[in-house]
Amino acid sequence: MMQIPEIGSSVIFLDTCDSTNAELARISGYPETMNGTVVLTYEQTAGRGRRGNSWASVPNKDLTFSFLIIKPAIKAEHSFLPIAASAVAVAEFLGEKISDKKVQIKWPNDILCNRKKICGMLIENTFTGNESQKTIVGIGINLNGTAYENTRFPATSVFLETQIEEAVADNLAQLLPYLNRSFTQMFTAPGLLVNRYNSLLYGKSEWVPILVAGKNILGKLELVDMLGNPQIRNINGDLVVSRVDEIQFSVV
Ligand code: BTN
């Protein structure tokens, strides 16, 4: 069995960089870059989001970091598992920090607070054939920012929800145990991790607008399976989807 890396065994703090995912990818080949290394920056000049989008964060106020897992012993078809581990860790962390608000996972890996986006993640896997060489998990949490413009989903921050100013590096230190717990469970009991993921799902017990293959419907996301495929129930009671690339949540 593989040695489970400690996320944050080494932490690199940068005043500024283009993107922590890009920086970690550049240094990941160096022999001194340890498994579990974290790169945190106080300012990202070219933050990257999913689907080729950019990621805007407020310099010195928001939390932007990435971590590296070398040879994570995950097959290509299980690349949903690091997504689930990261999403569960951040949702549980923020859920405790913002205790009176509803923190949920918007499939696959956005974190919402009362239906507003508070965190995004970009997870990049490198495979040789079916064997994973490295996984880079990039996490952006809206911490102290107060204005987020041009976001597809309405956005919020920890400060906007709690009125408490947060120290950026302290929040990384607080989040690391959640990440280490989730990733340990991913390697030891992936089924239990996916159950935790499902218990935190947005759109599970309420009807939400979903774009399915270009059509807007109201649906409930009943379950996400181990491969990350969502099962959506429409208002007639039919199970409508299952292909990952076919659905997107609409703006509420
Ligand atoms: C998304 O919601 O589209 C994903 C956003 C991911 C942003 C984080 S911030 C730290 C890391 N570095 C990046 O360039 N992107 C991720």
Read off the pLDDT of residues 79-121 as tens digits, 9 standing for 90 and up: 999 999 999 999 999 999 998 789 999 999 999 999 999 999 9
Distance 121 CA to ligand 1 centre (A): 5
Pairing of strands 110-113, 103-106: antiparallel
Q: Is the pLDDT of residue 17 over 70?
A: yes
- To the nearest whole number, what is the mean pLDDT of the chain? 91
Q: Tell how far the Cα of 141 is from the centroid of ligand 1, in angstroms.
A: 9
Quick check: 251 pLDDT over 60? no
| Closest ligand 1 atom, residue 53 Cα | 3
Residue among 14, 37, 48 to mutate when testing ligand 1 (max atoms within 8 A of CB): 48
Indicate which atom in ligand 1 lies nearest the CA of residue 22: 14
Whether 213 shows a pLDDT value over 80: the answer reads no
Q: Whole-model pTM?
A: 0.94
Question: What spacing in Å lies between the alpha carbon of 63 and ligand 1's midpoint?
Answer: 10
**Ligand 1 site: residues with CB under 6 angstroms?**
19-21, 44, 47-50, 53, 55, 64-66, 110, 120-122, 138-140
pLDDT at residue 229 greater than cutoff 50: yes
Mind listing the pLDDT tens digit for each residue in 30-51?
Answer: 999 999 999 999 999 999 999 8
| Sheet-wide strand order for 63-70 | 11-14, 38-41, 63-70, 131-141, 116-128, 110-113, 103-106
**Ligand 1 mean position, distance from CA 126 (Å):** 17
pLDDT score recorded for residue 246: 61
Q: Residue 176: how many CB atoms within 10 A of its CB?
A: 20
Helix 168-188 / helix 190-199 crossing angle, nearest 10 deg: 130
How much is the average pLDDT of 119-146? 93
CA–CA dist 148, 198 (Å, integer): 28
pLDDT band at 158 (very low <50, low <70, confident <90, very high): very high
